[in-house]
């Protein structure tokens, strides 16, 4: 088995303080740190942020503000706002990035692939025709064509135009 040593991912998987999950830390850091934390949107019950380890350019997540890991534990107002913000973020991505389609979904539980199983989150991954190529197959490498800062700026501008 090949191993990839990636110690920089440790802060993503295990936070610095050990007291909060990464989503709670980003939410509680405050609005003044939104750019630094790539938080695009803050609502009453949910927030949206870029994934710092994206599957594709513009990959973002919509997350309940409340630390909740099970879909059955969501309150009605959280579920309603989750899907309202998912719809909004798809509109924002369409406007800013012009993707051909989207993957929208969540991994519930560690065995299902949830990297942070204690705090439910929904992924929105923009897709383009031809964005899957030989690199992941032959080299197990994803090519992300744009930096997070540039993508964040495009999405934030589109959000401001739409809202």
Which active-site residues does the annotation give?
Answer: 121
C-alpha distance from residue 121 to each of 24, 88, 145 (Å): 12, 16, 24
> What distances in angstroms separate CA 35 from CA 95, 108, 127, one per listed residue?
20, 28, 24
Q: How far apart are CA 123 and CA 119, in angstroms?
A: 13
The Cα–Cα gap between 64 and 122 comes to 9
HSE at residue 119, side-chain half, CA atoms within 13 A, is: 19
Question: Is 57 one of the annotated binding-site residues?
Answer: no
Give the whole-angstrom CA distance, residue 107 versus residue 132.
Answer: 21
Q: Is 123 annotated as a binding residue?
A: yes
Binding site, annotated residues for substrate: 51, 123
């Amino acid at each position: 088995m090949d191993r990839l040593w990636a110690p920089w991912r440790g802060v993503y998987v295990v936070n610095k303080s050990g007291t909060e999950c990464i989503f709670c830390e980003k939410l509680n850091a405050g609005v003044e740190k939104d750019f630094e934390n790539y938080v695009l949107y803050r609502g009453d019950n949910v927030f949206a942020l870029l994934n710092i380890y994206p599957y594709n350019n513009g990959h973002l997540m919509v997350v309940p503000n409340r630390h909740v890991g099970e879909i059955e534990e969501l309150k009605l107002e959280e579920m309603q706002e989750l899907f309202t913000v998912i719809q909004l973020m798809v509109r924002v991505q369409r406007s800013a990035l012009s993707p051909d389609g989207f993957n929208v979904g969540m991994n519930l539980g560690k065995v299902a692939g949830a990297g942070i199983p204690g705090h439910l989150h929904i992924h929105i991954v923009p897709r383009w025709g031809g964005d899957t190529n030989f690199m992941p197959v032959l080299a197990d490498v994803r090519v992300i064509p744009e930096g997070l800062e540039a993508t964040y700026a495009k999405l934030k501008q589109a959000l401001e135009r739409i809202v």
